[in-house]
């Protein structure tokens, strides 16, 4: 799996370091990290309430909202959805390079619908987690610089504005321009229909996080770009499985334990 970009970002809690990586998607190795049993999955199949998605819609892995902006793209699926103004559930055959990825027998994905991008508020009802993964389709194919910003708290009011429970385009832009929260930047121009694997690991157990996927015109001044639509799918949130010790490490631990036992016997 070829890594396109990987970098570290400091989350807002003092001890936490958040690492965001974007790699070429490989169906055989996705997500590229091992989750302990009990992780949650979201594939956007059979979503109740129609194709339009906003912060009021609750999913197993949290909620989603658009950053804003008005694009001019056409419908992204078989179900009717306002063009270029809201997030939508895409469905059916690949649309403009976006498609279902997981589950393999599924039909749907979440589409930015040519807006500025997607805000994902990660919340599992209070359950702790320390990692998440998702696939990202069709990013940067019309020239956008796509960034994935992550933190263990929200960007709401990060620019000094009044908190209102929503993340606005100006708040994301402020974080991007001032390198707050950090993240990973995917440079243009990748082919139409490209698929990336994104993994975020937190430096500690958290109960909530926020992921922002935004399209900008360049890598510096944070001017947005519409009409470079993005799809996400195959979302996973959970706890990383413990890394098993190699055989030599187990032998060393066994030897140290035996040595400690022998010392105790000598003292006795």
* pLDDT, tens only, 138-196: 999 988 888 888 877 788 888 888 888 888 899 988 888 887 766 788 878 899 999 99
**The predicted structure's pLDDT at residue 10:** 29
The two counts, helices (H) then strands (E), for the chain are 2, 14
As to burial, measured by CB atoms within 10 angstroms (0-12 exposed, 13-18 middle, 19+ buried), residue 254 is exposed
The confidence score (pLDDT) of residue 92 equals 87
Q: Is the dihedral of CA 89, 90, 96, 98 positive or negative?
A: positive
106 near 43, Cβ under 8 Å?
A: yes
Is residue 150 a contact partner of residue 6, using CB atoms and an 8 Å limit? no
Q: Could you tell me the pLDDT band of residue 14, with boundaries at 50, 70 and 90?
A: very low
Helix, coil or strand: residue 32: coil
From CA 241, how far away is CA 227, in angstroms rounded?
39
CA-nearest of 150, 147, 80 to 116 is 147
Residue 253, helix vs strand vs coil? helix
Q: 221-233: per-residue pLDDT in tens?
A: 778 988 999 999 9
Provide the CA 212 distance to its chain's centre, in angstroms.
Answer: 8
pLDDT, mean over the chain: 82
207 φ/ψ sector (left φ>0, alpha ψ -120 to 50, else beta): alpha
Q: How many CB atoms lie within 10 A of CB 42?
A: 21
pLDDT of residue 79: 66
Q: 36 falls in which pLDDT band (50, 70, 90)? A: very high
Give the per-residue pLDDT at 81: 78
Residue corresponding to tokens 């059916």: 92
pLDDT in tens, 48-96: 777 889 999 999 999 999 999 988 867 776 667 777 889 999 988 888 8
Task: Please say whether the beta carbons of 42 and 53 come within 8 A.
Answer: no
User: What pairing do the DSSP bridges indicate for beta strands 62-66 and 231-238?
Assistant: unpaired
- How large is the greatest C-alpha to C-alpha distance in the chain, in angstroms? 82
Distance between CA atoms of 214 and 136, rounded to whole angstroms? 12
**Coil, strand, or helix at residue 23?**
strand
pLDDT > 90? residue 39: yes
Q: Is the pLDDT reported for residue 124 higher than 70?
A: yes
Distance, CA of 200 to CA of 31 (rounded, Å): 11
């Amino acid at each position: 799996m070829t890594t396109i970009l990987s970098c570290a970002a400091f989350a807002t809690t003092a001890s936490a370091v958040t690492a965001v990586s974007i790699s070429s998607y490989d169906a055989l190795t996705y997500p590229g990290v091992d989750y302990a049993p009990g992780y949650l999955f979201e594939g956007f199949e059979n979503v109740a309430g129609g194709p339009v998605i906003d912060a009021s819609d609750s999913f197993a892995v949290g909620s989603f909202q658009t950053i804003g902006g008005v694009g001019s793209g056409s419908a992204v699926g078989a179900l009717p959805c306002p063009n270029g103004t809201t997030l939508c559930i895409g469905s059916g055959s690949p649309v403009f390079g976006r498609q279902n990825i997981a589950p393999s027998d599924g039909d749907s994905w979440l589409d930015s619908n040519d807006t500025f991008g997607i805000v994902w508020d990660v919340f599992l009802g209070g359950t702790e987690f320390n990692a998440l993964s998702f696939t990202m389709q069709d990013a940067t194919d019309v020239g956008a610089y796509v960034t994935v910003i992550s933190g263990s708290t929200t960007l709401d009011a990060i620019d000094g504005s009044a908190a209102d429970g929503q993340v606005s385009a100006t708040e994301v832009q402020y974080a991007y321009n001032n390198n707050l929260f950090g993240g990973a930047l995917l440079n243009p121009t990748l082919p139409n229909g490209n698929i990336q694997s994104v993994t975020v690991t937190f430096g500690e157990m958290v109960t909530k996080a926020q992921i922002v996927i935004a399209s900008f015109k360049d890598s510096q001044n944070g001017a947005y770009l519409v009409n470079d639509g993005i799809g996400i799918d195959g979302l996973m949130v959970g706890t990383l499985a413990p890394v098993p010790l190699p055989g030599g490490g187990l032998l060393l631990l066994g030897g140290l334990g035996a040595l400690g036992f022998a010392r105790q016997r000598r003292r006795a």
